[in-house]
Chain A
Amino acid sequence: MSVAVPNMNVRVAAGRDPSDNYLNHSRGLLSWIFTLDHKRIAIMYMVFILANYLLAGIFAMLLRIELLSPKPWMLADPEATKQLYNNMFTLHGAMMIFLFVIPAIPAIFGNFVLPLMLGAKDVAFPRLNLLSLWCYGMGGLFFVYVLFSGVYHAATGNTLPGGFGLDTGWTFYTPYSTNEASGGNVVAATTGAFIIGFSSILTGINFVASIHTLRPKAMGWFKMPLFLWSLYATSILQILATPVLAITLLLLIAEKTLHIGIFAWKLGGDPVLYQHFFWFYSHPAVYIMILPAMGVMSEVMPVFCRKHIFGYAFIACSSVGLAMLSFFVWGHHMFVSGQSALVNSIFSLLTFSVAIPSAVKVFNWTATMYKSDIRFNAALCFALGFIMVFTAGGLTGMFLGSLQTNVPLHDTYFVVAHFHYVMMGSTVFAFLAGMYYWFPKIFGKTCNDKVGCWAAVIIFVGFNLTFFPQFIMGTKGMPRRWATYPPEFQIYHIISTIGAFVMAAGLFTVAYNWVAGLLIGPPAPPNPWGGNTLEWATTSPPPHDNFAQTPTPGDPYHLADWQYVNEKQGWVKSPATSEGPQA
């Protein structure tokens, strides 16, 4: 082997400063706010998104603490406590969904990694990318306003006790959300969500155009990394579903402010029509959340199992298939709304079809582990946790898709547990896996892997402790969105709260791990994990224009050429082969 060089297998072109990267390429706050660099945009998204995750997580902890007792106890006035609880669950849901889970993987990893994986210098529309970041920020400001403003009624000068924020639930069902009692913050929150929707749409447009036109000739559709397939499928959903949310929110605002009557039963409107509009977006939205997570899984599993992903074509096609099917099942949120039995049956049948592509992926990832060469580290620990938790969450979806069992379980804690298993457990685990996987590339630093693995275990234990008892509560009949409850459910709530604290401890351990890595971690090599996708063919962190020399793509999962060299503590490509990124 040759002499040790600071950037293994990546030659720096003549005339370039090897220490110049996108982080120090230009300085000053304005160079960040007005940047066109997709990598900087991704970092800014990361800061906002993680801040929102922390805030919405704190609301969740407050909910769990209040639920320790069947009667309201946190504030002196029980009415104020109930109002506070109602506001907390609404804001927790709305912020987590619109400000964290939907944008997290596409806006952070999609923006950072997609152009790199394509061997391109940026996304197709960098200015649109910046606009989508600003939309996210502006929409977020509306939520900040909602947080601090009371449910204030001008005529009386009163604020409901404990009544800052919003209490309609993140679903904003009419007629409650269009009544006087739910307050003016409904308009502020829906306006914020409307603006954030544009962030989603513009990102989707950008990714579709990039994947279509910035792909190198040597990278055909079936030679693309699976993360790009998942981003493509997600973008289709963002483009086609988010506008329906936009019009739904506009109609809600028009109903609330102008009493336009479209959902008002006294004026000939139909409150259930709102639910149809809302869920037509919100069901595809949950696939916007999970598809990128599955994409991360498809990158992490092969690299740490040192084996080609199993069933590439099936995973790719099932991603797009899942995206398409997800448009046809929204009615399964409304089985008890008074829809006809015929409509219910159709939606139930279609809902079961949507389970199949997800199952196919789980089997493929498991098969990737067969006869592989597994190297454990934090990213893989989270990925394995994902498989367990996603399987459980997905299987419990069957109870909810089946008509007869949906009826007693709808709007109970069973549903709460189900969606937390797939959204929190699965998407967040995949997000954390992605953070650990791409952390060296993004920041050029290495995290302490042992701490990361232990954090993964703590979070896994805490997560299950929090949400498994909720399945049991749900089957026993505990309704959701209840500030008070019959005493027979208390033991489950107590276990769930203990689990929440364990999970929080794990998440703070992860945060500590990242900060420590940033501050005192050793510098990262270009390819710390031995991956064969193109982002590993440049320095860590990458230069401003991504590549010193545009790499030539090969099979993204052909890992056999990379050998781990102990002396170098890193991966080196065997010089003999010509396939894959040539450094």
Chain B
Amino acid sequence: MMTGAINLLADVGGSYWLPPRASGYAGASDWVFWFIMGICIFFFGLVAALVVTFAIKYRHREGVVTDTAASHSTALEITWTLIPTVIVFIIFYYGFKGYMAGTVAPSNAMPIVVNAVQWSYSFDYPNGVNDSEIHIPINVPVEFILSSSDVIHGFYIPAFRIKKDIVPGRYNKIWVQADQLGEYDIFCTQYCGLDHSGMRAKLYVQTPQQYAAWLDKKALEAASIPPVDHGKAIYTKFCNSCHTIDGSASTGPTWKNLFGYPVKFADSSSLTVDEDYLRSMILNPNNKIVAGFLPVMPSFQGQLKDRTHDVDHLIAFIKSLSDKGQPPALPGAAQPTTKP
């Protein structure tokens, strides 16, 4: 009967109160939610009804004498201490049981590394692909390995009812097994700075064929993209929240006509921007702050991979934005394929 009541609550409230469910674990989590909700509704209703009833029934009326009632009753005290105690331990048990079932990932879970940085996510797949979206195949256990390179972030997927903090210096893990296709939100839930509320991503649950096809496409793209275009993709993924490429002002210096021009630092020294300077700024940015800007740039060491020549291609893109960035054309040499 209790299960029936909980199911009734879940049916009535389910799609309104809670996000869509994308896994069996989410369903189990929701069962506990509605179980607790039922108990809450009962006890709140009881107390509210008593308070309102007593307030009306026992209000003072002129000339009416009330008979006194006892001011203590050990039996009543014990009852209303013991019954809630039993109830809360039952609630603990169900919450504990369900939680423990979700703590250990199956040994065949596919690992995806979640890289969190202020204020974006990027995800590493087992075949080396790195992308800003999560795609996973349906009915396959996937383990997320959470890694942050700066401050504590959060990793929350409402549809799966899972969440974990991403703590720099350690690898927290969390796993899911999706049983519904669809597109789901990922939110950052641990305050991490100015654009904390913009730190979101999408997770797509696909059929194994769709997933394999997507993975192939991404791997090919990574392999064949021209350096400048690859650099531009990196710019779009990591850098465009703070740097513009058209000369307009933002949190960081614009990249238009950055390469090859002199830049002045807060301590009044200056130098001409070259490849070494760009590399050092990307990997160790707060060594030298450009005058007029704040030292808020995070380091991208570890985010940009040497294996895929990320830093080199990004530098190539930055060079392509400057009129001092093009080498003098050699006779017969191909020009860079894209213009910003």
Say if the two chains contact directly (CB < 8 Å): yes
A residues sitting closer than 8 Å to B (CB atoms) are 79, 82-83, 86, 153, 155-156, 158, 160, 167-169, 173-176, 179-182, 265-266, 270-272, 305-314, 336-338, 341, 344-345, 348-349, 352-353, 355-356, 359-360, 362-364, 366-367, 369-376, 384, 387-388, 391-392, 395-396, 398-399, 401-408, 410-412, 472, 475-477, 479-486, 557, 560
B107 to chain A, nearest CB (A): 17
- Kindly state whether residue B39 has any CB partner on chain A within 8 Å: yes
Interfacial residues of chain B within 1-26, with CB under 8 A of chain A in the complex: 16-19
Point out the residue from A153, A175, A398 that lies within 8 Å of B152, measured CB to CB: A175
13 A–B contacts from the bound complex (CB under 8 Å): A153-B294, A175-B150, A176-B152, A180-B286, A307-B68, A341-B103, A349-B96, A356-B88, A371-B68, A371-B69, A373-B58, A477-B19, A479-B189
Contact yes or no, B76 A367, CB < 8 A: yes
Residues on B with C-beta less than 8 A from A411 are 154, 156, 163, 189-190
Residues on B with C-beta less than 8 A from A392 are 44
- Kindly state whether residue B43 has any CB partner on chain A within 8 Å: yes
Residues on A with C-beta less than 8 A from B188 are 479
Closest A-B pairs by Cβ, 9 of them: A265-B169, A402-B95, A477-B158, A403-B99, A482-B197, A308-B71, A371-B69, A411-B189, A404-B98
CA distance A174 to B192 in the complex (A): 10
Contact yes or no, A179 B151, CB < 8 A: yes
Chain A residues touching B, majority SS:
helix
CA distance A303 to B163 in the complex (A): 48
Residues on A with C-beta less than 8 A from B289 are 155-156
| Besides A309-B71, A352-B91, A404-B102, 7 other A-B contacts (C-beta < 8 A) | A175-B152, A176-B191, A308-B71, A369-B55, A373-B58, A402-B91, A403-B99
Point out the residue from B43, B187, B193 that lies within 8 Å of A391, measured CB to CB: B43
Known interface pairs A374-B60, A479-B189; A348-B92 also in contact (CB < 8 Å): yes
Residues on B with C-beta less than 8 A from A408 are 29, 156, 158, 161-163
Residues on A with C-beta less than 8 A from B189 are 410-412, 479-480
Contact yes or no, B168 A271, CB < 8 A: yes
Contact yes or no, A312 B71, CB < 8 A: yes
Residues on B with C-beta less than 8 A from A404 are 28-29, 32, 94-99, 102
Interfacial residues of chain B within 89-122, with CB under 8 A of chain A in the complex: 89, 91-92, 94-100, 102-103
- Kindly state whether residue B48 has any CB partner on chain A within 8 Å: yes
Contact yes or no, A271 B169, CB < 8 A: yes
A294 to chain B, nearest CB (A): 15
Interface centre among A158, A175, A479 (most CB of B within 10 A): A479
CA distance A392 to B196 in the complex (A): 30
CA distance A434 to B68 in the complex (A): 26
Residues on B with C-beta less than 8 A from A371 are 58, 66-69
Contact yes or no, B295 A155, CB < 8 A: yes
CA distance A486 to B76 in the complex (A): 49
CA distance A265 to B293 in the complex (A): 27
- Kindly state whether residue B272 has any CB partner on chain A within 8 Å: no
Chain B residues touching A, majority SS:
mixed
- Kindly state whether residue B164 has any CB partner on chain A within 8 Å: yes
Known interface pairs A375-B60, A403-B99; A156-B292 also in contact (CB < 8 Å): yes
Point out the residue from B19, B59, B200 that lies within 8 Å of A374, measured CB to CB: B59
Known interface pairs A310-B71, A367-B76; A410-B267 also in contact (CB < 8 Å): no
Contact yes or no, B47 A405, CB < 8 A: no
CA distance A391 to B152 in the complex (A): 34
CA distance A214 to B336 in the complex (A): 88
Contact yes or no, A181 B193, CB < 8 A: yes
Residues on A with C-beta less than 8 A from B68 are 307, 371, 560
Contact yes or no, A479 B154, CB < 8 A: yes
Known interface pairs A356-B85, A410-B163; A405-B33 also in contact (CB < 8 Å): yes
CA distance A156 to B252 in the complex (A): 13
Residues on B with C-beta less than 8 A from A175 are 150-152, 168
Contact yes or no, A384 B103, CB < 8 A: no
- Kindly state whether residue B183 has any CB partner on chain A within 8 Å: no
Known interface pairs A411-B154, A477-B19; A168-B60 also in contact (CB < 8 Å): no
CA distance A348 to B93 in the complex (A): 10
CA distance A387 to B47 in the complex (A): 8
Contact yes or no, A391 B198, CB < 8 A: no
Known interface pairs A360-B80, A387-B47; A82-B40 also in contact (CB < 8 Å): no
Contact yes or no, B91 A158, CB < 8 A: no
Known interface pairs A305-B58, A366-B54; A156-B158 also in contact (CB < 8 Å): no
Known interface pairs A479-B156, A479-B187; A156-B40 also in contact (CB < 8 Å): no
B296 to chain A, nearest CB (A): 5
Contact yes or no, B168 A484, CB < 8 A: no
Known interface pairs A307-B69, A560-B68; A360-B163 also in contact (CB < 8 Å): no
B298 to chain A, nearest CB (A): 9
- Kindly state whether residue B36 has any CB partner on chain A within 8 Å: yes
- Kindly state whether residue B81 has any CB partner on chain A within 8 Å: yes
Residues on A with C-beta less than 8 A from B307 are none
